[in-house]
Amino acid sequence: MSRRQGNPAKRIPLLLVVRVCIATALVISAVIHIQLAPDYQQAAPAGIGQGTLFLIQGSAAVLAAAFVLLKGSRTAFAAAAMVGVSSLAAVILYRYVRVPALGPLPSMYEPVWYAAKVVTAVAEATAGGLALTGYALLHKARRQSHTEKDDRLHAASSTWSRRGRHL
């Protein structure tokens, strides 16, 4: 198999580095959320508390990290971007806006920054930004791959046409 054939995500070393960095950032966010979950669940021990939401976020981040590491597809990059960006949006929203409880979801207003919160925000911003970058790089690589394939087909068609043979 020539270097130009195959999955573009596997041909480009830069995408592999981006995938590893995205997965690392998502795992950092997941670990911190999972570690913090028990303390945040105390406010709603029997219901949907912030701790439960932290466990859901941690699980989603781990799944997105595994998906982007193992697959490296546009869908995987999109999933990683959604997890990273939505988690970052939530931490910023609940830091600066006093959102009331919405149905079964508790009010999670917390108007302070502390080390773990800053680390998760940075990790989520990194994961989201790199996932969007990876998506764009993969899209560009696939478009370029299709253009090269079309060029080869056009060249082969022209060669056959000049010889008087038509495809």
CA distances from 119 to 109, 114, 123, 125, 127 (A): 18, 9, 6, 10, 12
- pTM of the predicted protein model: 0.78
Give the C-alpha separation, 5 to 23, whole Å.
26
Give the C-alpha separation, 35 to 40, whole Å.
10
Give the C-alpha separation, 80 to 87, whole Å.
11
Over residues 41-72, the pLDDT tens digits come to 887 666 788 999 999 999 999 999 999 999 99
165: region left, alpha or beta (phi > 0 left; psi from -120 to 50 alpha)? beta
Over residues 91-139, the pLDDT tens digits come to 999 999 999 988 888 889 999 999 999 999 999 999 999 999 999 998 8
